[in-house]
Amino acid sequence: MKKLNYLFMALLMSAAVVVTSCGKDEEPDPGPTLSLKGGANYISSDATVQLNTTAKIGVNGLKSTVSGSKLVRFKFSLISNNVSTTFVDSTFNSDSFTWETAITLSSVGEGRLLFELWDKNGMRAEQAFNIIVEDPGSQINKYLNVEFGSWDDAIGSFFSSTEGITYTVGQTRNIPGNQAKIDFVFFHGTTNANTVASPDDADAGSIDDLGPIKNWTNKNQTRFNPINMTADQFDQIGDTYNFPTFNMMTQETKMNNLAKGHVFLFKTQSGKLGLVKVVDLYKRGYRAKLSVIVQK
């Protein structure tokens, strides 16, 4: 009898163990969910964009389906060069959350956009993506192989970088509106040889055969920098271009003693940057052929 009782108790214990081990485990809390908004004009994944691009970013959040804990905090940050900058850090108490904004990417570089959402239990969800901002360069106008004449030629000596054409002495002498279009003049001076000069350059103004320019009503203040660029490099420039920084400390009112293949930088009075390449110089008649690239 004792042996039967012992076996019965052993079976009971075994059954209890089986029942206990088959019980339902408690479901773990996944915390809140956070998703990025997508669609037209939104950025929601790793991207490379052009400088000054404007785009939308946004998120949608929901409380945990297990705990039901309220959403209490949202944070949006940019991490670049291992430095985190917070743009939004807000608190609230809600079952759901939505947020979006338009951003203009006005600095060249790369970084990581981080979006974080917390609930009342301290559980956190996050989304992030990397973004690279590139400068495609300035939109440009190209005026290639422009012929420049001497003061008494039918081909003009005065160049308008907004129009890409030359004007003659007769077209500028007494017409202030045309004078205002001129960014530089080509001449072959006694001491300056082949020269491209600003309308306000003293040497250009001293040449009576050019108008004289000193009597003009409008004289644009164009300035020049020598640069280390070859003619071949000039020829490789495409539809956009990142112009070199113009050095105000070494600016000149003219570039003289020019030779075939010379390339130099200029800045117009309105602030536009441009490049000039000397394509050819003709000793007879003191004429020139120049190619000009300038910001639109």
Question: Nearest-CA neighbor of 63 among 145, 141, 135, 118?
Answer: 118
Prediction pTM value: 0.63
The dihedrals phi and psi of 247, each to the nearest 5 degrees, come to -90, 105
Task: Check pLDDT > 80 for residue 12.
Answer: no
Residue 197 lies in a domain: yes
CATH number of residue 125's parent domain: 2.60.40.10
DSSP, collapsed to helix, strand or coil, labels residue 4 as helix
Find the angle CA(70)-CA(121)-CA(130) to the nearest 5 degrees: 85
Q: Are residues 51 and 69 in the same domain?
A: yes
Rounded to whole angstroms, the Cα distance separating 103 from 188 reads: 52
Helix (H, G, I), strand (E, B) or coil at 21: helix
The pLDDT of residue 31 is above 50: yes
pLDDT confidence of residue 69: 97
**Model pLDDT, residue 284:** 66
Q: Is residue 14 part of a domain?
A: no
Its domain, for residue 144, covers 138-295
CB 68 within 8 A of CB 80: no
Specify if 3 maps to a domain. Answer: no
Q: What is the pLDDT of residue 191?
A: 74
- Choosing from 116, 134, 152, the residue where a domain stops is 134
Do 147 and 117 share a structural domain?
A: no
